[in-house]
Structure 1
Amino acid sequence: MTLRRLLFRGLVPLSVFAVLATLMVAHGISRASDAQTDEQVSEGTPAVVRDRAVPVTPKAEREPAPPRTSEDQAEEDDAPAAADTVVAQLPPTKVAKFSLLGVTWREGLVDADTAVEVRWRGDDGWSDWTELHVEPSNEGTPGTEPYWVGSADAAAVRVLSTSDAAPRGLELATIDPGKMPTSAALRTVAAVAQPTIISRAAWGASNSGSCDSPIYGSSLRGAVIHHTAGSNTEPADRSAAVVKATQAYHMNSRDWCDIAYNFLVDRYGQIFEGRRGGIDKVVRGAHSGNGSVNEQTTGISLMGTFTTAAPTTAMKSAVVRLTAWKLALHGVPAKGTYSLGGKTLNRIAGHRDVVSTACPGATVYSWLTSTSSTGLRTQVADTIAAGGSSTTLPTPTGLAVTGRTMTSVALDWNYVEGAERYHVKVSTSSTMSSPVFAKFDVSKGTVTGLKPGTRYYFSVVVVDPVKNVRLSSYTAAPHPTAETYPAATPENLAISSASTSSLSLNWDDLAGAEKYHVKVSTSSTMSSPIYGRFTASEGTVSGLKSGTKYYASVVAVDPVLGTRIGDYSQAPHPSATTEGGTTSTTTRNTVTVPSTRQFTVTGHGYGHGIGMSQHGAQGAAKAGEKFASILSTYYPGTALGTKTGNIRVLITKDTTASVMIRARSALTFRKGWDGTPVSLPSTIGGAAVTRWMIVPLSSDKTKSTLKYMTTGSWITYNKMVWTGEAQFEASAIRLILPGGSDVKYRGALRSASPTAGSSDRNTLNVLPIESYVRGVVAAEMPSSWHPEALKAQSVAARTYGVRSIVRSRYYDLCDTTSCQVYRGYAVETEATDAAIAATRSKILTYEGTPAFTQFSSSSGGYTAAGSQPYLKAVPDPHDDWSGNANHLWTKTVSASTIEKAHPSLGTLKSLTVTKRNGFGDWNGRVVSLDLVGSQKTITISGNTARTLLGLKSNWFRF
C-alpha cells in the first residue's frame, strides 16, 4: 500500500511538539503561538510560518492539545494512519487572506516515503488534508509545488513519513496576488502560427528579482511540459492572479530569481509570458530540476491539476500553438530526441521525463506521449508543417517630441496593438535622407548621440523583433522636428568652500546640459588633473591633499558617450587651498635609534585601508547611517545591482587528494556538474555506512573512484571509475579533514582536477552565492555589531565573491584571507543571516560590472586609494569610536629586527619617512622610507616597512 493510501485510513494518536512558530510579514517578524493570531500580510508577499522545534518521537498516548478557539480550531478527522509518523508539523494558523500556498524547508530531504500535506480554511470551512508534490530543483530552496486554493485565511502543515526523513526549518508560504492591473495589454509577435501572449506587465509581474541579467542558452533543444497544481475551476479573470501568486512563491519562498516557467497556459487558452528575458529568446528557467535542461529548453506550464482531470480543448489548442511557434522560431522539430544534462529526451517532454515527479499529471502526460493524430507532438508537428504568414500591423500614430538636450531628443507615440519593437528613423533632412536609427521596445524613448545645435526630423515604424523586418509603414510627413540645444561653455565657476581633502564648487546651469565634468589641478595650466563628475551645476571634488592650492575648470559632457560638449571654462581659473598641512612637530618623520636600540611607532588603522573599513562601517551604523549610505562612502561612484548563481570555493584545509565525508541520509553523488544524480544509501548489506570518499585510483591517478566505509575498511561502490570531476550533494555535508576533524558545508563538495588530465585533486565547495555569504560575514565581522554594518559587510562580501567568479579556472576563490575568509555552516549566526537575507542578491556595480569591494579592519580615519576609480582615498571619521582599538595604536620596534632583515645596512642609525600620500593625519600613509645604516642606506616602501616592523598598517609616525 502506498503512503498516499495510508493517509486516510482512520484515526491514530498524534504527538504534540513544542512548536514555536513565527509569522513573517512584509515589514518585520511577529510571533504566533499555538493559539492562532491574526497578522496582516502585504500584497504579493508570502506569510511564512516557521517550525523552530526539533520533532520528537510520537508517544503512545495523546498529550493535551494547545488551547484553540472554536473559530480557528481545525477538524481532527483524516489523521494519519499508524504506519506513518508525523516528523514535522505547523499548527493551524490564521493569516491574512490568501489564494496560493506552498511549503519549503531549510534542510533535510523529503523522500519517496514522505508526504507533505496541507489543509486550509476557505469559505466552506476546513479542507481535507491535501498532499503537495515535492518539486525537484537544482537551485534555490527545497520545497513543494505551489497550490492554488482560491480564497482562504488559515492553514496547517504536516509532514508524514515511514522513513527517517526530518525536514528542518519548515515554512508555509501563503500568497495573496492582490489587485490585478485594470488594463491588460496583449503582446503579439508576428511570426508563423504566433499565438497571442499576455505580457508580464499585463499580469502584474514583479521585476524586483535578480533575473535582471537573464541567462540565455546557446540554442533551443526542446520544450518541457509542466502543470502548476491547484484549482481547475478558477474563472478566466483570475488566471492572472494565479500567475502572479506563483511568481511570488517561486521568488520569495523557493529563492528563485523569477517565476520558474517561460510560459503558462490556463484552461481558457490564455497564454502568459513567464520568466523575464524575452519570449522569443532562449531564456534559462528553473523548471526542470536539471541545470542544462533549464538552459536549453522552454518550460510551458498548464495551470491546474491533471491527475484525473483532463486539460480543456482550449488549453490544449493554446499549448499546441505556443509550442509550435516556439520550436519553429528556433528551427527545432516537434519529434525526435536529443541528449542534454545526462538525459535523452523527446523534443517535447514531460517534467517527469527529466526528474522523478508526478508533473505534469497523468492526463496531460498521456496526451503528450500519445502517438495518435491528436497527440501533442503530432499536433505540433502538423502545425509547424502548415506554417503561416507574417502579420501586418497599423502604422504608429501620435509621434511627438517631448524633450531635448544638447545631444538627445525624447519622443513619444501611440502604442500599436501587437507591436514588440519599434525603430525610430532620425535625419537632419525633412526627406529623411542619410538617416540613423534608434531601437525601442516600448512606445517612447530618447534618441541619444546627436549633435548640439542641430535640427532633426523623426519617423517611426513597427519591426519584427526576430526577423528584423518592418511590420508597418513609417509615419509619413510632416515629420515632427526638434533642434538640440547649442554647445556652450559653463560660466561663473566658483569655489564655495574647502576642507582638508575636498573643494565644493558651483556654476551657472547650462540649458540642455545633463552632465558636467570638473577638473582640478595643482597647476594653473590644469596639468595632471583630478576629475569630478556631476549631473547638477554644483558638486564636491574629493580625494585632494591637505594644505594644497588647487585650480578648477568645468565642461558639459554627453551623458551617454562621455564626450565633451563645448569647451572647458577658461583661465583665469578659480582657485582655493585645502585646509590643514604638514608640520614637523606633529608628523615625526625621522627617528634616531637610541642607546636602548628600541623605538616607538604610533599608527592609525589595521590592514591595507582600501575600500570599506569594517570598524568605520560599525561606527557609521551606530551614528544612524544605513548600509547603502555606508557603502557609497567607501565605494563612491558604484551602484546597487543584483546577482545570483553558484560559486566554487577552494577548501584549503583539505590538503589530501580525496574528498572524504561523513555519511548521512538524503545524500546524492554526481559525476560532472551536469551529470545524473545518484542517491547514496544509508545502509549497505545491512550495515550502516559511516563514510563516503571520492579518491584517485592508485593505478591511474587521472581517474577516480567512489568508496564507502561500514565496519572499518574502504569498499569500492558499484565498481564506479571515471575521469573528471565528481561531487557529493546535500543540504549540508560534513567534510572530514586530515587529522579526523570535520567541517560542515552547505551545497556540494567537489573533487576537482587543477588541470585536465592532472593526477592531483583539490576539494571545492560549490554552493549558491547566498549560502556562501552566510559563511563569510559571520567570519569577517562580529555578529553582535549593528545590523546596518552587517548588511554593508554582506553586500561587500557578496560582491567580492561575484567578481571572483572566473569560469576559465576550476575554482573561483579560496577560503582564507588571501581571498576573503569563509568557514562554512558552523559559523553562521542568526544576526548575520538576517543581514544577508535583508540584502539578498544585492551587489555593488561600477559601469554595469561587479565592483572590486576590498575591505579591511580599520582605515584609521582615512581610506587608501586602490586600483579602481571607485577605490578613492576618502575621509572616514566614523572609524574613530570607543570600541576600535585599531584606530590609534603604538608598537615598540627593535633595531636588531631591521638589521637581521638587512645585514648590509651595518648598524642601524635612523629611519626617515621620505614620502607620504597626503591624506589625513601626519600627512597620510607612508609611501617610502629610508633605513640609514653605518654602511649604506636602503629605501623601502611603506607596505614593506609595515611587514618589516610588524605594524598594523602603513600609516605611522615615529
Structure 2
Amino acid sequence: MRGFLASSIGVTCAAALALPLTLPSSGARAATPAAESPAGPSAESVPGSTQSLPLTPLGSDRSTGGGASAEQGLLQREVRPFSLVGVVWDDPDDELHGSVQVRTRANGISTWSGWQPVETHNHEHAADPNDPERASGRVRGSTAPLWVGDSDGVEIRVRGEAAQHRGGAHPSGGQALPTGLRLELVDPGAEPPPQGPAPKGTASTVLTAETAASSAVNADLAPLGADVIPALGKKETESDLIAARGGPEEAAGQARPYVGPRPRITTRKGWGANERLREKNFAYTKTVKAAFVHHSASGNNYRCSQAGSVLRSIYRYHVKSSGWRDIGYNFAVDKCGNIYEGRAGGVAKPVLGAHTLGFNSNSMGIAVIGSFGSTRPPAASVKAIARLTAWKLGLYGANPRGKTYLRSGGGNLYKKGRNVRLHVISGHRDGFATECPGSRLYQKLGKARSTSARYQGR
C-alpha cells in the first residue's frame, strides 16, 4: 500500500499513457491485435439500461392534466425486463411528502406481487449544497431505489399527504406532488465475467481507458484490472502504512500505528461497474475523519450472489436517473459481510462522496445493502463495517471509539458553517434528520465502534 496518498492525477495520467491495456492471465498466450481477432471480455460488456416513464394523474385527479395532482401513477403494464425501481422529479430541492407504492410481475409468471413501499426521503443522500456536483444542472429529486428482482410488469401509485407545502394543500385534500414525476426501471445488465484468471489459451481481459483509470488509483493495493483487493494481515498493513508515511529508511524506527488489517474488497471492475456512466474525473476531500453508516433502503430481498447486480442498479440509478457524478457511497456491504468499492477514486484515498448531505467533506459513506428499520442487520454486515472502518479510519489516524468535529455544509439539522461534534463512526441520522440507517442498524453502531477499535489494537 506504499504511497496510498500519491497524487491521483499522476496515477491516472500514467494509466492513460499506457493504453490500450491488455492484461494476459498467468500462462495465457499474448493477445493478438484487435484488428486480427475479436477483443477479449471487457468491463463495459455489462451496460444495463433504464426505462423512464412519466407518471399520470390517477382517480379524481385525471382531469387536472397532471399539473398539481395529489395522486399519480401508472396502471399495470408490461415493460422491458428490469430489476430495480425508483421515482424521480424535476427539482432536487423539492420533497415528495407522501407515499410511493409499487407492485411488480416477475419474469415468466402471470401473478403480481403485493404492494411494496418505496422510501420517499432520499434527498439527504446527496452532494453538499455548494458542491459542483449539486450545481451541475443534471441533479433531480429522487426516492430511494427498491430492488424487486427480475421483472417485466409494473404498477405504481404516488399519493401526496394532506399537508401544507409550497402554497397549500391540493383541493382534493392531498398535498400537491413535485412536478415531473417519472418512474425509473433499471436493468443492471448481465453479470461480468467470472473472477480470477482466464483459462489457459483464452483471450485476455482488455481494459478500456475508463476502467484502467478507475483501477489505476488502486494500483498500490492490487494489480491493474484486478477484480478484488486482497486482504492483508495486520502486521503487513502496519508496515506498509509506516513506510508510506516516512519512507522505507525511516520505517524501522516508527511506532506501530493504530490501523486494522486491510479487508478483502471487491473492486468496481469486480462488481461490473460500467465506467463510461460516471464523470471522467475523480473528486477528493482533504482527509477522512469520520465514517457515516447508511442502509441502501433498497429492500432485503436479494441473495449475496446478486449483490453486484444490486450495486450496478443503484449506480445506474444514482447517475442516469438522479443526475449524480457517480454512485454516492464510498463503500457498500452486503448481508454476507462482503465489502465493495463504491465511488471511484481509490479505496485508500479520501474520495469525496455524495452520501450525507452537509457532511460529505472529510468523511466516507458506507451503505449496507438492505433496509433495517424493522429488520435486524446480519452480524456479518456489522462485522464488515468494523473491519472496513478499522482499516480506512486507521490510515488517517482516527479512533473508531472517539469523536471528531466536522464543519456542516448545510442541512436540516445543522446550519452551514457550524462545527459539529460527531462520533467517528456515526449513523446517517447523526448528521441529518432521517430514518437512515434504520433503527435496527443504528442500534448496532456501538458494537461496530468497539469491534473496530479492537481491530486497530486499541
TM range (shorter): 0.5 to 0.7
1:256 aligned to 2:324? Answer: yes
Whether 2:238 is the aligned partner of 1:238: answer no
2: distance between equivalents of 1:239 and 1:104? 23
Q: Retained in 1: the 8 A contact 2:70–2:176?
A: no
- Where does residue 98 of structure 2 map in the other structure? 114
1:132 counterpart (112, 119, 137): 119
- CA distance 1:336–1:152, shift in 2 (3 Å): same
Residue 308 of structure 1: how far off its partner (Å):
1.2
* One-letter identity of the residue aligned with 1:50: P
On the 8 A contact 1:133/1:357 being kept in 2, the answer is no
Query: 340, 344, 361: which one pairs with 2:407?
Result: 340
Give the 3 Å change call, closer, same or farther, for CA 289–90 of structure 1 in structure 2: farther
Q: Are the equivalent residues in 1 in contact too, given 2:297–2:371 (CA < 8 A)? A: yes
Q: Distance in 2 between matches of 1:108 and 1:249?
A: 15
2:186 counterpart of 1:175: yes
Is contact 2:103-2:112 (8 Å) kept?
no
Shift of 1:330: 1.0
* CA displacement at 1:356 relative to structure 2: 2.4
Residue 355 of structure 1: aligned partner: 432
> Paired residue for 2:352?
284
Aligned-partner residue type, residue 53 of structure 2: V
Q: 1:220 to 1:50 in 2, by over 3 A?
A: same
CA drift of 1:57 comes to 9.4
Q: How many Å separate the matches in 2 of 1:172 and 1:121?
A: 16
Aligned-partner SS, 1:167? coil
| 1:209–1:176 Cα change, 3 Å | closer
1:134 offset after TM fit, Å? Answer: 1.8
Equivalent position of 1:330 in the other structure: 396
Bigger fraction of residues in strand? 1
- Report the CA distance shift for 1:117/1:357 in structure 2 as closer, same or farther (over 3 A): farther
Aligned pair 1:187/2:229, yes or no? yes
Q: Is the 8 A contact 2:387 2:452 kept in 1?
A: yes
- Where in structure 2 are the equivalents of 1:451-530 lying within 5 Å? none
Q: Is the 8 A contact 1:108 1:166 kept in 2?
A: no
Which one of the candidate residues 385, 389, 392 is aligned to 2:457? 385
User: Which residue in 2 is equivalent to 1:818?
Assistant: none
Match of 1:297 in 2: 363
- Give the structure 2 partner of residue 146 of structure 1: 145
Identical positions, percent: 32
CA displacement at 1:209 relative to structure 2: 3.5
Q: CA deviation at 1:126?
A: 3.0
SS across alignment from 2:335: coil
* Mapped partners of 1:195, 1:329: distance in 2: 13
Match of 2:72 among 88, 91, 94: 88
Q: 2:80·2:152 contact (CA, 8 Å) conserved in 1?
A: yes
Contact 2:332-2:340 at 8 Å conserved across structures: yes
Q: Mind listing any 5+ residue stretches in structure 2 that lack a counterpart? A: 1-45, 64-68, 164-174, 196-226, 238-259, 409-417
Deviation per residue, 1:794-823 (Å, 9 max, x gap): xxxxxxxxxxxxxxxxxxxxxxxxxxxxxx
- Return the offset for 1:110: 5.8
CA contact (8 A) 1:148 1:229 kept: no
Aligned residue runs from structure 1 range 58-69, under 5 A = 58=60
Contact 1:150 1:231 (C-alpha < 8 Å) held by counterparts = no
Quick one: which amino acid aligns to residue 379 of structure 1?
Answer: T
As a proportion of its length, which structure holds more helix? 2
- 2:374 alignment partner, SS class: coil
* Aligned-CA RMSD value: 2.4
Give 1:233 deviation, angstroms: 4.1
CA displacement at 1:108 relative to structure 2:
7.9
Equivalent position amino acid for 2:149 in 1: G
Name the SS of the counterpart of 1:294 in structure 2.
coil
Cα distance between partner residues in 1 of 2:230 and 2:330:
16
Mapping 1:669-708, distance limit 5 Å: none
Whole-Å Cα distance in 1 between the matches of residues 70 and 334 of structure 2? 35
2:198 maps to what in 1?
none
Say if 2:231 and 2:261, in contact at 8 Å, map to a contact too. no
Partners of 1:152 and 1:56 in 2: CA distance: 23
Q: Distance in 2 between matches of 1:340 and 1:359?
A: 20
Q: Is the 8 A contact 2:429 2:437 kept in 1?
A: yes
Cα distance, 1:119 vs structure 2: 2.4
Residue identity opposite 1:329 in structure 2: L
Q: Where in structure 2 are the equivalents of 1:452-851 lying within 5 Å?
A: none
Aligned to 1:203: 271
> 1:50 aligned to 51, 54, 69, which one?
54
Contact 1:45 1:252 in 2 (8 A): no
Partners of 2:48 and 2:187 within 8 A in 1: yes
Report the equivalent of 1:218: 286
Q: Deviations over 1:334-387 (max 9, x none)?
A: 12131321343221111122222221111001111x4xxxx221221222126x
Q: CA deviation at 1:181?
A: 1.4
1:307 paired with 2:385, answer no
**Residues 1:274 and 2:342 aligned together:** yes
290, 300, 318: which one aligns with 2:384: 318
| Cα distance change, pair 255–271 in 1 and its aligned pair in 2 (3 A) | same
The one-letter code sitting in structure 1 at the alignment partner of 2:373 is T
- Taking structure 2 as the reference length, the TM-score comes to 0.64
For residue 87 of structure 2, what is the aligned residue in structure 1? 103
Distance (Å, rounded) in 1 between the aligned partners of 2:102 and 2:367: 22
Structure 1 residues 167 and 156, CA gap change in structure 2 (3 angstroms): farther
Structure with more contact order per residue of length (Cα contacts < 8 Å, sep ≥ 6): 2
> What one-letter code is carried by the residue in structure 2 that aligns with 1:326?
K
The answer as to whether partners of 1:264 and 1:301 remain within 8 angstroms in 2 is yes
- Stretches of structure 1 that go unaligned for 5 or more consecutive residues are 1-41, 64-84, 387-958
1:280 offset after TM fit, Å?
A: 0.3
Letter in 2 for 1:195: P
Deviation at 1:210, TM superposition (A): 4.4
1:364 aligns to what? 441
Distance 1:294 1:313, change over 3 A: same
Equivalent pair of 2:86/2:146 in contact (CA under 8 Å): yes
Q: What residue number does 1:449 align with? A: none
- Deviations along 1:669-717, whole A, 9 cap, x unmatched? xxxxxxxxxxxxxxxxxxxxxxxxxxxxxxxxxxxxxxxxxxxxxxxxx
Displacement of 1:170 after TM fit? 0.7
Change beyond 3 A, Cα 1:204–1:56: closer
Report the residue type matching 1:158 in the other structure.
Answer: R
Counterpart of 1:358, as a letter, is: E
Q: 1:118 to 1:354 in 2, by over 3 A?
A: farther
Does the residue aligned with 1:126 lie in a helix, a strand or coil?
A: coil
Aligned partner letter, 1:177? P
Tell me by how many angstroms 1:89 deviates: 2.4
TM-score (norm 1): 0.31
Note the C-alpha offset of 1:113. Answer: 4.3
Cα 1:326–1:108 change in 2 (3 A) is closer
Alpha-carbon deviations, 1:649-680, whole Å to 9, x = none? xxxxxxxxxxxxxxxxxxxxxxxxxxxxxxxx
Instruction: Give the secondary structure class of the aligned counterpart of 2:346.
Output: coil
